[in-house]
């Protein structure tokens, strides 16, 4: 385990209650972004024998998918969250994957083996770096010459109605702070122009991005979706400080929104992400 952590605030959250919640709800989280996992797997185009780095691997779905695509290669998954890494190890073992290594490490500073990886990917993990240029520079140094980088990150808040639903119902009537562009948050890479600039500063080339839209599935039915989103870290932070009456009112509004989005595919919201690609020269 690498004890060098510079992204301290994020590490405290992901290695604490937030990470514990994500590890407990791993099935909900994986199901909610299934479409983006599928798109990322296709874009990664991993061939057997390649060596892959999965940054912010969380509960390990993307790590396991990469490992299955390169059975004679290997995959290193890194994350700040011990609870999620424990879950990732459990799931990799259950699938009999012996080409996976999972490590608690801060990818912003971790001393990766230079030039070791054919591909570095991150599915909704790279938005939380405190110093994005430092992080991408470090990751780039771990790539082989010509090695490629693939990131999936949320587009801005208004394009992601699952987040809008939470803020509009649970935060209604309050002036909520909005993280500045680039700050560690779910929208840390939402500005495509800024992100491409950071990647260029990191020494990467052939930088591009494209939009991907899809359904965010919050749950199988209204109760399932309500329980999942109500327990999320975002929801809990929005509910903090409310009295019992206000809390009940806001949660009732959230349940109404879940009902309005129920379909024969479950409770679904329109969502949007960017896929960023680049390579090491």
The count of structural domains within the chain is: 1
Query: What domain range is 119 assigned to?
Result: 8-155+179-217+274-279
Is position 259 within any domain? no
Name, in order, each residue with C-beta under 8 angstroms of 237's C-beta and a sequence gap of 6 or more.
none
Is position 160 within any domain? no
Is position 59 within any domain? yes
User: What does the DSSP 8-state code read for residue 180?
Assistant: P
Which CATH number goes with the domain that contains 208? Answer: 3.40.50.150
Question: pLDDT tens digit string along 81-129?
Answer: 999 999 999 999 999 999 999 999 999 999 999 999 999 999 999 999 9
Looking from the CA of 179 toward its CB, the CA atoms found within 13 Å total 16
pLDDT band at 1 (very low <50, low <70, confident <90, very high): very low
- Give residue for tokens 């999620």: 84
Is position 111 within any domain? yes
Instruction: Between 250 and 9, name the one with better pLDDT.
Output: 250
Is position 137 within any domain? yes
Is position 14 within any domain? yes
- Can you give the pLDDT at residue 3? 56
Is position 228 within any domain? no
- Can you give the pLDDT at residue 63? 98
Question: pLDDT tens digit string along 157-179?
Answer: 999 999 999 999 998 777 777 77
Check: CB of residue 127 under 8 Å from CB of residue 156.
Answer: no
């Amino acid at each position: 385990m690498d004890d060098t952590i510079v992204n301290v605030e994020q590490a405290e959250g992901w290695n604490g209650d937030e990470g514990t919640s994500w590890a407990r709800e791993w099935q909900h989280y994986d199901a909610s972004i299934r479409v983006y996992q599928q798109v990322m797997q296709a874009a990664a185009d991993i061939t057997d024998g390649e060596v892959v780095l999965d940054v912010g691997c969380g509960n390990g779905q993307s790590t396991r998918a990469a490992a299955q695509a390169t059975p004679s290669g290997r995959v290193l998954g890194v994350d700040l969250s011990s609870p999620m890494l424990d879950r990732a190890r459990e799931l990799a073992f259950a699938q009999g994957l012996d080409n996976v290594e999972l490590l608690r490490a801060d990818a912003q500073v971790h001393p990766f083996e230079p030039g070791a990886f054919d591909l570095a990917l991150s599915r909704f993990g790279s938005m939380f770096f405190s110093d994005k240029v430092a992080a991408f520079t470090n990751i780039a140094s771990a790539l082989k010459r010509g090695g490629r980088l693939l990131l999936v990150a949320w587009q801005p808040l208004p394009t992601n109605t699952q987040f809008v639903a939470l803020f509009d119902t649970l935060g209604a009537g309050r002036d909520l702070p909005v993280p500045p562009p680039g700050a560690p948050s779910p929208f840390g890479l939402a500005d495509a122009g800024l992100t491409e600039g950071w990647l260029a500063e990191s020494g990467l080339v052939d930088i591009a991005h494209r939009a991907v839209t899809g359904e965010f599935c919050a749950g199988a039915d209204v109760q399932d979706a309500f329980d999942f989103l109500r327990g999320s870290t975002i929801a809990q932070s929005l509910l903090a400080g409310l009295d019992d009456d206000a809390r009940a009112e806001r949660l009732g509004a959230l349940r109404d929104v879940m009902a309005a989005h129920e379909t024969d595919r479950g409770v679904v919201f329109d969502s949007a992400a960017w896929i960023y690609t680049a390579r090491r020269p």
